[in-house]
Amino acid sequence: MPGRLSTSPTGDPTSALSGALAAEYAAVWAYGVIGVHLTDAARSAARAAEAAHRSRRDALVLQLAEGSGQVPADRAGYALPYPVTDRASALRLAVEIEERTAGHWRAALPHTGGVDRNTALAALTDCAVRATRWRRTAGVTPVTVPFPGRPT
């Protein structure tokens, strides 16, 4: 059975970072679907976003392996929230992926400190900026949200 695109991290720092890792896994997978429906600058932006999520994923895998030794496994596939069949649905999914991933990083903030908290805040900020860019590309208004990563 394919994994879901969203899980809720709670509790200790390792659990919170594991939840963020699950979100990063899903984001990398989703950008594979998103990218095939985009062209030109939007496709380049999707590739850059995928690379950023891969980088965060890889860093988290190493961190969790060195710390607790418990690294949640990636799934073979993820259930999309709706069919992605064209540019509009791909852009909508890009916004949603960034918002969901931001939510996981935001959820990690109260459970982390020091370097881990800085990492979570930087990831939350990166996701919020990418979501804003995707909204602008899609022609969605408003292009920003008041509290990125906050549940609606």
What are 30-67's pLDDT values in tens digits? 999 999 999 999 999 999 999 999 999 999 999 999 98
User: How many Å apart are CA 124 and CA 127, to the nearest integer?
Assistant: 5
Task: State residue 1's pLDDT score.
Answer: 28
Task: State residue 11's pLDDT score.
Answer: 65
| Spans of the chain, pLDDT less than 50 | 1-10
Task: State residue 8's pLDDT score.
Answer: 40
Task: State residue 5's pLDDT score.
Answer: 37
Whether 34 contacts 84, CB under 8 Å? yes
Task: For the beta carbon of residue 76, count every other beta carbon within 10 angstroms.
Answer: 9
pLDDT above 90 covers a percentage of the chain that reads 85
Beta bridge partners of 34: none
Q: What is the DSSP letter of 3?
A: B
Output phi, psi for 98, to 5 deg: -65, -40
Amino acid identity for residue 7 in this structure: T
User: How many Å apart are CA 143 and CA 89, to the nearest integer?
Assistant: 17
